[in-house]
Each structure stands twice: as C-alpha cells, then as structure tokens.
Chain A
Amino acid sequence: MKYPLELNVNGELFELEIPANRTLLDVLRNELGLKGTKEGCGAGECGACTVLLDDEPVNSCLVLALQADGRRITTIEGLSGAGKLHPLQEAFIHHGAIQCGFCTPGMILSTKVLLDRHPNPTEREIREGLVGNLCRCTGYQKIVEAVSSLVKRKDC
C-alpha cells in the first residue's frame, strides 16, 4: 500500500507515492537521487544522514518519509545556492576538515544549526554541538577549527 507524500526539499516541491515503511533517508537517496545524504549505520548513531527538517537536525534514517509530509527539508545539496558555496562549506574545505568526506554533509548541516542558534560558541560548545556526528578520519580537530573560524566574537 502506498501513501501520497509531499516533500519540500531544498525549496523544490516533490509529490510522491510511497509505502509507509520507507525512511526519509531512503526516499531522499533513492527516489529523489540526493546522494549527498549518506547512510553510515541506519540506526541513528553516526549522524552521516543528518538533514534539516524545518531547520531541526534529524537523523533521516530514523524518520519515516511520511512523517516529513508537507515539511521543509534541507540537504547538503540545498546549502550551496547558485554555484556559490555556503561559508561553512568554504570553511570546511580551507581548514582541511574533510578527509574521506563521508561524514561531511551531515557534519556541515549539524554545524549550520549550531551556528544559527549560537553564533558565538566556545570550542567546548562547538564540540558539544557535534556530538551527534561521528568522524573517524579527522579526530574532529580541523572540523572544530573550521567552525571556530566562523565564530564572530572569539571572546565569548
């Protein structure tokens, strides 16, 4: 049995019919071809599939696609508009925060929420903000440096 589903992904509207058990991750990757969202564990533990659901970071492997009906989704592909990189993407690139790159899309989206909510996090707060995203390559250091570079006032 399939159910109608309307998704607003990166500002584009999609009308789909899908079975109830499909995850948002599955629909993004396999129906919409948005492969930037990665599957690292399928159990909400690694954060590689992080997307923004109405600006809220979620593990898209734990969200049923139908739960996202009518809601606004941002994936990594939606971050860089008109060929221009988001400042976070620039920062990750220039600070060497990307190695294999598999965690990168989720990491960048989590970082975006962190900075949207707390524009001046301390180093500790940056690390706290990224606890939901695992990275096995970088030891997080250059990721933290990349995020710090965007912090407006360092004295906070």
Chain B
Amino acid sequence: MVKYSVVGHSVPQIDANEKARGVAEFVSDLQFPGMLYGKILRSPHPHARILHIDPSKARRLKGVKAVVTADDTPKIPFGPRTEDWNIFAVEKVRFIGDEVAGVAAVDEDAAEEALDLIRVEYEELPSVFDPIKAMQPGAVLIHDKERNIVSEFKLNKGDVDRAFQECDVVHSERYYTNQVYQAYLEPMACVAHFEPTGKLTLYLATQIPSMTRITYAKALGLPLEKIRVVVPYYGGAFGAKMETNLHLAAAVLSQKTGKPIRMVNSREEDFIAGNPRVPMYIDLTVGARKDGTLVGKEVKIIGGSGARAIYSMAIVATACYRVDSLYRFQHLRTEGLTVYTNTVPTSCFRGFGNAQMTFALESSLDMIAGDLNMDPAELRIRNGLKTGEVSIHGWQIGSSGLEECVRKAVEASGWEEKRREKRFARGVGLACCNHVSGNRAFSREFDGGAGIVRIGREGKVLVYHGESDMGQGQRTVFAQIVAEELGVTLDRIEVAPVDTDISPFGLGSFATRGTVFGGNGVKAAAQDAKRQILEVAAEVFETIPSELEARGGKIYVKDEPERNLSFEKVAEICLLRRGGSPVVGTGFWAPDTVLPDPVTKYGNVAPAYPFACQIAEVEVDTETGHVNVIHYTAAHDVGRAINPQTTEGQIHGGVTQGIGWALMEDMVVEKGKVLNPDFRDYVIPGPLDIPPIKSILVEPVDPNGPFGAKGIGEPALNPSPAAVANAIYHAIGVRFTELPITPEKILKALKKK
C-alpha cells in the first residue's frame, strides 16, 4: 500500500480542542444583538380542520413581538420531493405536533406563555395511524391522494415464480421495523435573520445546506440568492436534520419583526415533530438452492410516511432494491408502497431504508442457512458481490471487501467455536450489508462534489466545502486530504464552516457520501492550488512545474533537493507577484453515475459501494428476558480509512444505535400521540448497555474514492439489528421478526416455547 504522510493516520478531530473546552459555538448557543426567541404552537389533534385562529390575546402579551400563522406566509405548498408541506397549517392539521402558529418574544418564557393565549378552533376529523389501515378503501384521506398512497415502487426482473419452484428452500416471513428516533444530543435549532437589505441569513443545523436553501426559497417565495445558509457546529443528526418547518417558522418571524430569531426544539417537540425512521412492514420471500446459491427474492413493503412524505418514498424504494446489489439475486419481484398516516412525518435515519431491509433479509438468510444446514458466514461469502462485478441493477462494484469482512469478523469473534460449542442462553449471530457512497437516484439533478482551497500570505490553508459536519469528523478528513495533496502538515489547515455565500454548492451529508464526494471535491481544489503554487515556484527556480514537488511543508526541485523553498515562502511570493491575490484553488469531481431507468431501475447510482459484516454475541437472561450483548465485532470495507480513529468512532456509534434499535428503542404511538417523547421513557443505550466493540477496517482501496476511501456512516448501523436478532435465535431458539426485541417479547416467546 502507498504510504501517505497525513492520509491514513489517526489524528484527533481538528475541532476537538474547542469542543473539549466548551467554546465551540453550537447553533443553540448563538446570540445576536436584539435577538428574539421563537416558539411554535403545535396541533393537539391528529387530524382536524382549522376553523378559526385568534392570535389577538397572544399579541398583547408583554414581551411578545409577533404572532404569525399561515396568513403571514406566501402559502406556497412545497417540500423536498412532494409539495405537501406548508410552513404553518393551511385549513387542516394532519398530526399531533403539526405547526399551527409561531410566536417571537423577548424571552422563551414569554413566547411559551403566548402560545397558551392563541385561540384555535378545530373541527376534529377521523384519523388513521397505521399505513395498512390507511390504504383501505373508505379510509379518511389525509392529503388528496387515492388510498393515501404517496408513491408506488415496482420492479420485476427474471421470473420469480419459476425460480422459487426450482429452489430447494423458499422462505417467507413478515417483518416489522418500528419507528425510532435519531436522538442526537442537540435538538433541532436555528437562527434566522432577515436583514434590512432583504437578505435572509439562516444559521442552521442541517446536513444539506445548499438543498435546504432551494426548498426554503420556494417556500418563502424568495429568490434563491437572497438566502444565505451558514452551518455552525451542531450536535449530531443521523439523517434527521434536513428540511424542517422550524427553520421556516424562524424565517417568517424574522421577516415580521426584522430581528434575528433563535428557535430550538424542546426535546419533546423534537420527538413529536422531528423526522423519525420510516416504519415498514416487509413481506419477504427468498429462495435458494441446496448449495446455498440465492436465486430469487420477492418483497412487498408498506412504509408509513406520516403526515408528510419528505423523503419516505425514496427510503421505501431503497429498502425495495438496494440489497439486490449485495448478493447475486437473478429473479426479483418488488413492490413498495409509501402511505400517509396521521402521525409525525418520517424520514431519513442512518441507513435510509437499507437498514430496515437489511434486518429482514439478513434474518431470512439466517433461517435459510439453518434450513440448508450451512454456515451463515459461508452463505454470505458464496453469494456476495466481488470487486469488478456488475449487479443486477447495473451497479459497478469498483471494490468489494465483503468476503474479507466476513472472514475477518469470523476469525476475530471466535465464530466457529461459538457456533459449534453452544452454551445455554448464549448465542452468536452474523449479518452483512452493502450500501452506497452517494446516491444518484436521490441527488438527481447532478452528482458531484466541489471545493475551494485558499492559501494566505503566511501559508495558512483555508478549505471550503458544501457538505456538512454533524460531528462525524468530516472537516478533519477534508483537512487531511488537502494536507496530503499540498504536502503540508495538518496544523496548517483550517476548514471553514459552510456558508452558501462563499462555499461551493454541495449536495450535503447523506447517503454515506461526504468522504467520497466532498473529499474528492476538496482534493481537486487542492490540486488546483498546488498547480498555481508550483507555477510560481517554477518561475523562482527557473524551471518547469513538473520538475518540482511539494512535501514536508516545502517545495523542492526534484533532483536537487538542496534547492527548496518553504511552503509559506512560496505562498507569500505568489501573493506578492500576483497583485495581492491569495492562491485560490477550485475544483470539482463529477462521477459518471446515472439516474436509474424509471422502469428497470438499471443504472450505476454511486461511484463506490461499502460493505460490512458484523457479529454479535448475546446472553439472554431467561428469567427476565433481558438481552446482554457481551461481545461485538464489526468488520467494515471502508476502501481506505483516511482517519482510522474517526472511522472506528463511526463504527462504534453506528453499532450502538443499531443495538439500541434492536433491543430498546421504540416510539410508542397511541392514536397519533407519541407516549414517550423523552429520554426517560424512550431509552437510548447508555455506557452499560454496550460492550466494547471490536472494529476491523478492511481496505481494498476503491478506484473512485479519494485515496481509495469509501464512506462509513450508514453501513455502521445497517447490519446490527439482524446480527443481534440472529444471535438471540442462536441463544434461545426463538426468531424475532419485529423490532425492538424487548424483554417482554422474549419472555412471552419463551413461555410459548
């Protein structure tokens, strides 16, 4: 493997010092002169007609500066995919938590008091909460969509019925993956400031700064370039922090008052009006031959989008077909329905539908391996796509470390021995996954990443990108890539917060794309900056740029290393010789991914595909039903780890969320009301719930990734619920097909057994 001086080395996150000292300013910490505090009045009903809103009493309360409703907005229906959003409810409310009105006041207490004074008359309407019921004829319509169906995904390849007839094992199962909450530590937050010039600056905790800007321009009826989005530090996201009405409510209140408005969800609001995971019913049939060859897959998915579609239809589509590029299925029949309900709108959460489907498929494969009396690890290796293969949907697997992941996880976990020598109520379970690094099917308009690298007079390098660091360490990875390209040390690099006035357009941080797209973008920008540096240095050395090299913070004449200049000296010469212009390198990377064919879904959607294998070991307390995860091994094909330490950090976090989902987490919704909107009743894993996780980095070096890197965000979680469920089956012989697998369910099942 090539040796790099910065890339491939574990370094602390470049902003860890500020965070450790408590001086990093998060969105909810921002303060501006004259700033007001905003709050939202939310619907108490799951479905109701708004007859009348009387804000007059609230407006008269001391300290209140504005009360706004839909009448204060352009009432332009909008949404990232379907136009079923309004900033504040127009005519109807569709879930408990729906935004009805907004208040701005001098402090949060006054704003909250004002909420109680807004009089809203509702006429309650029938509601429907389960997507299967919502599709029944006669069910109340939430939007004007027939049978409440937002969208339908259909895909047929080969001849599934015949294939199943010729299979030795055909396994059918219904799975249910529940609604879970991302539970980032900083609730959704923003500051909006309509300046007197008519320009709106939005300080947002968002994964998709450039894309929110487009959506918000439409919603507010503003020209795109009248809106500036800035992304300060923010406290985690895991898929949830994309578009949200919170940001728009703040914008409307700022427009009304002319003041900066800060809005932060309470934790309860974040639960009831955030973007939890799309719950899915998954009917899955898988057929295999005696030798373990997987032949056919039939799946029908019904996903609940809640009261707005957001990205749920893309998430259901992903659940429908992404795993087809993990194994070599030849015959497929797929149907996915995304259905409105009167519940909180659901959307992206680490895994984007692939996590839901991976739970189902990897559980079914465990059963098939059992039926065939075959090692589940061997079953995966036999069917897993390898480097250079093209999947049934045209995905070009530039690198696949799947087999290596399985083999290394098996070895590190003691899999074979533990499967062989079964101990009472102890078990090991294995699951694999694939994912994308970037997803053309999602980004649609274009695919790519861009960067700007600015080098100051004393050689300080400032990097601009358009993605979003929610804590995963993206800035650090970009800094490492730029440092490597420029041949300088990491301490010279600073990564600017995203600011749409300056930063390049970026699709953002989703689809495990940041490292590959943003990384390649800043790499191209660094190459451009380096070209300029070398041109000027070549003038000084009276040679040509190709005779020079940049390394160790210096520019050398290749064959005469005694002739060299320090990087900062060259930076200064550049500036002095070029009329004061700093070196500004710009660059982009646009891979030749394609939009999938609308009917066949054929087309290479991503430049790189990560893979993984995880093995969980559990101990089940047969008296209490408690599952203790005692060992965990996670082997991940990451192409190349730009920063092994942050890559491992992603794996630990993803696995932990996956274990939480498998065993503990569940949004309990009754008649549209979330009954556990707090961390006391919605329990996420604490330090005692998670064993030390053995992470293994598999590095096949991808041809398209920057320095061979692929992403890690989502695959870190995808296989975990199935690995845990399979381990529980191995431990106690009970198969669980619904998440989460709680002690109650385990005791009930053990009793039945």
Q: Which partner residue on chain A sits nearest B25 by CB separation?
A: A35
Q: Which partner residue on chain A sits nearest B182 by CB separation?
A: A136
* A85 shortest CB reach to chain B, Å: 7
Scan residues 1-40 of chain A and give those whose CB is less than 8 A from a CB of chain B: 29, 34-40
* B262 shortest CB reach to chain A, Å: 11
* B700 shortest CB reach to chain A, Å: 24
A36-B22, A38-B26 given; A101·B645 CB < 8 A: no
Contact, CB under 8 Å: B185 / A139: no
Which secondary structure characterizes the binding site on chain A?
loop
Q: Determine whether A149 belongs to the interface, using a CB cutoff of 8 Å to chain B.
A: no
Question: Which residues of chain B have C-beta atoms less than 8 A from A66's C-beta?
Answer: none
Question: Which residues of chain B have C-beta atoms less than 8 A from A55's C-beta?
Answer: none
Q: Determine whether B527 belongs to the interface, using a CB cutoff of 8 Å to chain A.
A: no
* Distance A135 CA – B656 CA, assembled complex (angstroms): 10
Q: Determine whether B591 belongs to the interface, using a CB cutoff of 8 Å to chain A.
A: no
Contact, CB under 8 Å: B20 / A136: no
Contact, CB under 8 Å: B187 / A40: yes
Q: Which partner residue on chain A sits nearest B470 by CB separation?
A: A100
Q: A34, A99, A103, A144: which has the most chain B beta carbons within 10 Å?
A: A99
Q: How many residue pairs at the A-B interface have CB separations less than 8 Å?
A: 173
* Distance A41 CA – B17 CA, assembled complex (angstroms): 24
Question: Which residues of chain B have C-beta atoms less than 8 A from A89's C-beta?
Answer: 17, 20-21
Contact, CB under 8 Å: A99 / B471: yes
A102-B236, A137-B471 given; A93·B687 CB < 8 A: no
Contact, CB under 8 Å: A40 / B25: no
A40, A94, A123, A138: the one within 8 Å of B653 (CB):
A138
* Distance A76 CA – B686 CA, assembled complex (angstroms): 22
Contact, CB under 8 Å: B648 / A140: no
Contact, CB under 8 Å: A131 / B688: yes
Question: Which residues of chain B have C-beta atoms less than 8 A from A38's C-beta?
Answer: 26, 28, 185-186, 235
Contact, CB under 8 Å: A98 / B679: no
Question: Which residues of chain A have C-beta atoms less than 8 A from B266's C-beta?
Answer: 42
Q: Determine whether A48 belongs to the interface, using a CB cutoff of 8 Å to chain B.
A: yes
Contact, CB under 8 Å: A139 / B23: no
Q: Which partner residue on chain A sits nearest B107 by CB separation?
A: A30
Contact, CB under 8 Å: B648 / A92: no
Contact, CB under 8 Å: B473 / A127: no
Contact, CB under 8 Å: B13 / A99: yes
Contact, CB under 8 Å: B13 / A96: yes
Contact, CB under 8 Å: A45 / B649: no
Contact, CB under 8 Å: B20 / A98: yes
Contact, CB under 8 Å: B655 / A136: no
A100-B184, A100-B235 given; A139·B653 CB < 8 A: yes
Q: Determine whether B356 belongs to the interface, using a CB cutoff of 8 Å to chain A.
A: no
A96-B646, A127-B687 given; A138·B184 CB < 8 A: no
Scan residues 126-156 of chain A and give those whose CB is less than 8 A from a CB of chain B: 126-128, 130-131, 133-144
Contact, CB under 8 Å: A102 / B235: yes
Contact, CB under 8 Å: B16 / A98: yes
Contact, CB under 8 Å: B20 / A104: yes
Q: Determine whether A67 belongs to the interface, using a CB cutoff of 8 Å to chain B.
A: no
Scan residues 646-676 of chain B and give those whose CB is less than 8 A from a CB of chain A: 646, 648-649, 652-657
Q: Determine whether A73 belongs to the interface, using a CB cutoff of 8 Å to chain B.
A: no
* B281 shortest CB reach to chain A, Å: 27
A-side residues, CB < 8 A to B, are: 29, 34-43, 45-46, 48, 75-77, 79-80, 85, 89, 92-94, 96, 98-105, 108, 123, 126-128, 130-131, 133-144
B-side residues, CB < 8 A to A, are: 10, 12-13, 15-26, 28-29, 182-187, 233-236, 238, 266-267, 470-473, 645-646, 648-649, 652-657, 678-680, 684-688, 690, 692-693
Closest 10 CB pairs of A and B: A36-B22, A100-B471, A101-B19, A102-B235, A139-B656, A76-B22, A139-B652, A45-B679, A127-B687, A35-B29
